[in-house]
Chains A and B, each alone.
Chain A
Amino acid sequence: SSAIKSLLALPGEYIKAEQKQVSCWELTGEGKSFVDNGSYEYILFNSVPKEGIFQKDLMKLPNAKIGFSKAMTLGWISIDKKAEGGPTVFRKVETAEDEVVKVLNSISEQKSVPDKVIQDVKKRKLISPVVTKFYKVTKGPGFSTTIQRPEADLTAEMLQDGSWKSKTFKDYNFAARGAPMTSGYLHPLLKVRAEYRRIFLDMGFSEMPTAQFVENGFWNFDALFQPQQHPARDAHDTFFISDPALTKEAKFPSDYLERVKTTHEKGGYGSTGYDYDWKVVEAQKNILRTHTTAVSARMLYKIAQQPEFKPVKMFSIDRVFRNETLDATHLAEFHQIEGVVADRNLNLGHLIGILHTFFKKLGIEKLKFKPAYNPYTEPSMEIFSYHEGLKKWVEIGNSGIFRPEMLLPMGLPADVNVIAWGLSLERPTMIKCGINNIRELIGPKVNLNMVQDFPICRVNKA
């Protein structure tokens, strides 16, 4: 039947095949031995002599129990239980016809036998049913005495020898998937980073040199007019370095350091200052930077040392470190995105304008601004955008104008204002991709399948 199945599977109908079945009876092994040797009752009957036989001797015959019971039922033998010497069996009839063997022979010869008789014989397990399946095979329209095997694929040889013209081809399974590509992949978060870098470059921003994770208190806090007893400078928010623990005092520009110290302690430049005792050792303490604004401060100081002020637009996207409590959306290290514009007479209107331009490139057009507080910017604004999916306003960043107490000690001209804004790289990526746990995006536990399946990043498309 496997041959027929293969023939049926060939394209171009070689044959037609109709499956049929027929049932009949077949003799079991026991049935066959009856036909060869006689039934148990017949054999037993023939073992009873004219004079009779003790039952106990008779019963020594094989299958005597069945034979005896059957012979008794058929009336072929009788038993005298009171006979002398023990129960004795006698013939009741002279001869017997082995009826059951006659029936079995009829069945063997496919002669018709009444149903009841068949059931009796079946009950004695002398016959069993047999189903025969068969095919009725006829020639199909494509019949031929030679078989042509269909090809799976077009090969170079077929092209060369032209045999493709005479071959048949198997159907292609268009419903199955194609072969997976073996390829290399870039990390999803860095794909998003590339998009943000492009946006800044498109807007004419220059990248700041941020390859410096270790910073000191001076540039991370003091130069930004963040006072020394501020909670953000606490050990439970900031990673302090035990080795190398301090920046040498000589490494700071000494007159600038003096101006920073005075501004904190007594004010000046129109400020009342904080009225506390500023300690240089706090400025010397090395930490892992808590924001890339430390680099912005360094850059602004450099710009202020130029003989002539030139306006700038600068950006950075790099790692920052916070020693906070960790949870599903917070890690000890993450990437901060920062934009800075320094020019004469900039104001909040300009900040709002550039934020609209920046976020428009991210596909975000509806923005709302909220008063906020930052130690080094005044005014400060939190930036909110309307999230269509969540149907509410979500905070997407922070911004402000740097305080005069930060800019004037550097030596920047009095009419120069510096506007700045920042956001994290991870948060918008998680929101856009529907990732709830930041460890699925960065770190060793990231599922590499996710990295490999991550699509092209189009930040401006919803």
Chain B
Amino acid sequence: MPTISVTRDVLYERLGKTFTDEDFEDECFGFGIELDDIVEENNVVKFKIDIPANRYDLLCVEGLSRAMNVFRDRMVVPKFTVVPGKEKLIVDDSVSGVRPYSVAAVLRDMKFTEESYNSFILLQDKLHQNIGRERSLVSIGTHDLDTIQGPFTYQALAPEQIKFQPLNQDSVMTAPEMFEKFRQTYLKPYLQIIEGKPLYPLITDANGVVLSLPPIINGEHSKITLDTKNVFIEVTACDRAKCRIVIDTICSMFSEYCSTPFTCESVTVESSSGSVQTPPMKYQTMECSAAQLCTKGGITGLTPDSVADHLTKMFLPSKAVGEQVTVEIGPTRHDVLHQCDVEEDLAIAYGYNNITEQVPNLNTIGAEQECNKLSDAIREELARAGFTEVLTFSLCSRDDISTSLRNGKALEEAVQIANPKSNEFQVVRTSLLPGILKTASCNRKMPLPLKLFEVSDVVFKSEDTETGSKNQRKICALFSGKTSGFEVVHGLLDRIMLSLSEKNYSIRASEESMFFTGRGADILLGTEKIGHLGILHPEVLENFEISLPCSVLEMSLEPFV
């Protein structure tokens, strides 16, 4: 969930009301946002507010306060207009291999204050972080239009050919030189988005002045200051839909500061596939039946007119004609994909806590999964036999299931994790033993003998399943004391088979290196091996830091389900 930071007093001024912290929290609750934290930075009180991840129009104080004012009937939903502009952005085919999409817009005759300037920068940061996926999908460059001259060119060039003075640096550098410098700075994580590619994207003006090297850095030449009046916005991306969402968001958020509020100027974007005016700033209409809009929310008693009013409060200006409601979905509501999004907004405006509860009139008979039912019964038997249940992790290290258990072959049948953050998450366990042994090791001070068990899933690779892997429900028990207690786990096996009404089992001596010489055996069901039991080899005990002899039993429960 994205979090934005807004200055409390600026927000309250825009809302036209000073709330108490508690009242504001209530206001947020009903709207679907959350006041996460209140902090003081340089004697200024800031609110940290959690915003739903799909609401790009709430990512800055401008958009948030506007939406809340409309919600509280203090403001009419503004209509955004795009005025045809003279500027042109020529997109060269060379960018298709590195960062294919690009749009642009102009905000004419802006008046920045320090507050709105900071907000402008912050919004770009938020969009970069969230929808831009840390700039890898979308990045933004904003420039002082009066310092540059169109038409602008977006192309990709060899790194050494790129040479300009980057933002906040005092000398001209080539791209490779810049990258070396930026490796030591906050820009480091973005370098790998284009590093290594034969061509780097670049936006220049008619005189060859570099506007930006997306997604890394803008040029110092065209940087925006508090005195900037005319802003040129360029957005480059690897995702065409997100590219449009980003420029629509910036334009709809900040065009309020233009001399003609809520107006922006279009830029003609020319490429080999044709010519298009951007920003799109499109309006869609959805024709719905008022009754149908109410059904999802379980809402009753609203006339089509009040349905329209409720939706308008949610920044979806609507009009009712008879039973039909026409909903206007503008460039701030890219989150609306389907009528269900409108239905949710209607329910929010109505108030979730005002909806009458109904219990679904549905009679069904409950049922359990047989494997779980049997597992629970076996767990009861094991507890009655005097064993204490443990609950351990499915993920473990490679060593845990192989070398530590003196079982070299285990890794061949184990599911391996590609991106473990530590070696505790290298594989999915194929045996319950590592977990139960670690528990025994951590609980050295318990009175002896220690009797533990676990009934849980392990995972094996498997040719005949959809994903190539399969869960297996296993029983594992351990006895640890001054003596090995082999006869106890053997007795437990007999007890388990008795509870499963199984007579056709036997034990056959085995040579498994996990067990002490001559003290290990396979458990057979008919002729099939379903498990094993024995006294653990002293090296295994050493690997798990256990200083007392242990006998263990592990078998599959699957044949009995």
Q: Name A residues whose Cβ lies closer than 8 Å to a Cβ of B.
A: 182-187, 189-190, 194, 197, 200-216, 229, 231, 235-236, 239-248, 251, 267, 269-276, 286, 288, 311-313, 319, 321, 323, 331-333, 341, 343, 345-350, 352-354, 356-357, 368-373, 375, 378-381, 401, 403-405, 417, 419, 442-449, 451-452
Please indicate the chain B residues that have their CB under 8 angstroms from the CB of A403 in the complex. 338, 340
Is A356's CB under 8 angstroms from B416's CB?
no
Is A211's CB under 8 angstroms from B389's CB?
no
Please indicate the chain B residues that have their CB under 8 angstroms from the CB of A185 in the complex. 383, 388-389
Is B389's CB under 8 angstroms from A190's CB?
yes
Alpha-carbon separation in the docked complex, A378 to B337 (Å): 11
Is A350's CB under 8 angstroms from B359's CB?
yes
Nearest chain B CB to A392 CB, angstrom units? 10
Which of B150-158, B435-443, B508-516 is found at the contact surface with chain A? B435-443
Alpha-carbon separation in the docked complex, A404 to B343 (Å): 12
Is B337's CB under 8 angstroms from A271's CB?
yes
Nearest chain B CB to A312 CB, angstrom units? 7
Within 8 A of A (CB), among B54-90: 54-55
Please indicate the chain A residues that have their CB under 8 angstroms from the CB of B417 in the complex. 239-242, 288
Residue interface mask B375-389, A partner, CB < 8 A = 1: 010011011111111
Please indicate the chain A residues that have their CB under 8 angstroms from the CB of B468 in the complex. 214, 244, 246-248, 286
Nearest chain B CB to A252 CB, angstrom units? 8
Within 8 A of A (CB), among B348-384: 348, 352-353, 355-360, 362-369, 371-372, 376, 379-380, 382-384
Please report the total number of B residues contacting A with Cβ < 8 Å. 97
Is A379's CB under 8 angstroms from B347's CB?
yes
Alpha-carbon separation in the docked complex, A200 to B367 (Å): 9
Which of B228-236, B269-277, B290-298 is found at the contact surface with chain A? B290-298
**B15 interface hit (Cβ, 8 Å):** no
| A379 with B461, Cβ < 8 A, contacts A241-B418, A444-B438, A444-B442 known | no
Which of B109-117, B168-176, B248-256, B392-400 is found at the contact surface with chain A? B392-400
**B301 interface hit (Cβ, 8 Å):** no
Give 17 pairs: A residue, B residue, CB < 8 Å, sorted on A: A186-B383, A207-B368, A208-B369, A209-B369, A211-B471, A244-B461, A274-B241, A312-B364, A323-B419, A347-B297, A352-B352, A371-B352, A373-B32, A373-B54, A375-B54, A444-B442, A449-B446
Nearest chain A CB to B301 CB, angstrom units? 13
Q: Which among B284, B358, B380 has the greatest number of chain A C-beta atoms within 10 A?
A: B358
Query: In chain B, what residue has the closest Cβ to A311?
Result: B362
Is B32's CB under 8 angstroms from A211's CB?
no
Is A183's CB under 8 angstroms from B391's CB?
no
Please indicate the chain B residues that have their CB under 8 angstroms from the CB of A214 in the complex. 415, 428, 459, 467-469
Given contacts A244-B468, A276-B240, A341-B360, 18 further A-B contacts (CB under 8 A): A184-B382, A187-B391, A204-B362, A207-B367, A213-B394, A213-B471, A235-B418, A239-B425, A247-B468, A272-B284, A275-B240, A333-B394, A333-B395, A349-B357, A352-B298, A370-B352, A372-B52, A448-B439
Please indicate the chain B residues that have their CB under 8 angstroms from the CB of A341 in the complex. 360, 362
Is B388's CB under 8 angstroms from A451's CB?
yes
Alpha-carbon separation in the docked complex, A347 to B359 (Å): 10
Alpha-carbon separation in the docked complex, A312 to B366 (Å): 10
Is A348's CB under 8 angstroms from B352's CB?
yes
Is A311's CB under 8 angstroms from B364's CB?
yes
**B31 interface hit (Cβ, 8 Å):** yes
Is A353's CB under 8 angstroms from B389's CB?
no
Is A197's CB under 8 angstroms from B355's CB?
no
Please indicate the chain B residues that have their CB under 8 angstroms from the CB of A378 in the complex. 338, 340-341, 343-344
Please indicate the chain A residues that have their CB under 8 angstroms from the CB of B348 in the complex. 371, 379
Q: Which among A209, A212, A349, A381 has the greatest number of chain B C-beta atoms within 10 A?
A: A349
Please indicate the chain A residues that have their CB under 8 angstroms from the CB of B450 in the complex. 448
Alpha-carbon separation in the docked complex, A348 to B348 (Å): 11
Nearest chain B CB to A199 CB, angstrom units? 10
Nearest chain A CB to B478 CB, angstrom units? 12
Please indicate the chain B residues that have their CB under 8 angstroms from the CB of A215 in the complex. 467
| A272 with B391, Cβ < 8 A, contacts A201-B366, A244-B467, A447-B443 known | no
Please indicate the chain B residues that have their CB under 8 angstroms from the CB of A190 in the complex. 379, 389, 391
Is A446's CB under 8 angstroms from B359's CB?
no
Please indicate the chain A residues that have their CB under 8 angstroms from the CB of B183 in the complex. none
Is A229's CB under 8 angstroms from B239's CB?
yes
* Interface pairs A-B: 3 shortest CB-CB: A349-B298, A371-B32, A244-B468
Please indicate the chain B residues that have their CB under 8 angstroms from the CB of A213 in the complex. 394, 428, 457, 459, 469, 471
**B149 interface hit (Cβ, 8 Å):** no
Please indicate the chain B residues that have their CB under 8 angstroms from the CB of A286 in the complex. 467-469
Nearest chain B CB to A22 CB, angstrom units? 53
Q: Which among A190, A209, A348, A405 has the greatest number of chain B C-beta atoms within 10 A?
A: A348
**B181 interface hit (Cβ, 8 Å):** no
Nearest chain A CB to B467 CB, angstrom units? 5
Is B133's CB under 8 angstroms from A229's CB?
yes
Please indicate the chain B residues that have their CB under 8 angstroms from the CB of A345 in the complex. 295
Alpha-carbon separation in the docked complex, A137 to B515 (Å): 71
Nearest chain A CB to B422 CB, angstrom units? 9
Alpha-carbon separation in the docked complex, A231 to B52 (Å): 14
Within 8 A of A (CB), among B412-438: 415-421, 424-425, 428, 435, 438
Query: In chain A, what residue has the closest Cβ to B300?
Result: A349
Is A204's CB under 8 angstroms from B363's CB?
yes
Is A241's CB under 8 angstroms from B415's CB?
yes
Please indicate the chain B residues that have their CB under 8 angstroms from the CB of A207 in the complex. 367-369, 372
Alpha-carbon separation in the docked complex, A275 to B393 (Å): 40
